[in-house]
């Protein structure tokens, strides 16, 4: 783990929403996608802790400072007839990488999946992020070359969802 400090990996609490959003902004900056952030911290808080919860998050803290996070939600495998966990984002601040924090976050997510009798834990990785791919493989992940992500957003989503 982090040298000379205690690492805590815990579920996010309502008071953490602004810290989580700052980490999301850090992830967007790392991926050179800051321009793509259209949401805000209050919407994140509502989706994490509101009357209808869409996502969950865990925080990694070192010496009381948030240094990483994972945001995830349940999906479902019809073939396994079991729920799964989809990891939307995993991020560790650059200055805290290679200290076991990412591994601790993934391990905690795997524990949650096992506790909830999930059939799988899955996520996507950018094709250019070879260091992340190497890390995920070292954790036992398979990278599925024969699957592609399909996405419908913005105007195309509205058009698709409009009854004709």
Kindly list the catalytic residues. 136
Considering only CA atoms, give the Rg of the chain: 17
3-state secondary structure of 38: coil
Estimate the crossing angle of helix 41-49 against helix 17-30, to 10 degrees. 120
116, HSE (Cβ side, Cα atoms, 13 Å):
18
d(Cα 59, Cα 24) in Å, to the nearest integer? 12
Instruction: Tell me how far CA of residue 22 lies from CA of 4, 7, 134, in angstroms.
Output: 25, 19, 26
Which DSSP symbol is given to 141?
A: P
Q: Which residues of 130-155 are buried (b: 16+ CB within 10 A; e: fewer)?
A: eeeeebbeeeeeeeeeeeeeeeeeee
């Amino acid at each position: 783990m982090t040298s000379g400090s205690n690492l805590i990996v815990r579920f996010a609490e309502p008071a953490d929403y602004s810290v989580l959003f700052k980490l999301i902004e850090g992830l967007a900056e790392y991926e050179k996608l800051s321009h793509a952030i259209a949401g805000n911290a209050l919407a994140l808080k509502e989706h994490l802790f509101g009357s209808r919860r869409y996502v969950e998050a865990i925080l990694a803290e070192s010496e009381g400072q948030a240094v990483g996070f994972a945001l995830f939600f349940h999906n479902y495998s019809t073939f396994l007839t079991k729920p799964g966990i989809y990891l939307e984002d995993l991020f560790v601040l650059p200055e805290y990488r290679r200290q076991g924090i990412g591994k601790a976050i993934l391990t905690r997510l795997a524990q949650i999946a096992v506790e909830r009798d999930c059939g799988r834990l899955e996520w996507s990785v950018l094709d250019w992020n070879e260091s992340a791919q190497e890390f995920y493989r070292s954790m036992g992940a398979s990278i599925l070359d024969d699957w592609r992500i399909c996405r419908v957003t913005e105007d195309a989503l509205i058009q698709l969802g409009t009854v004709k």
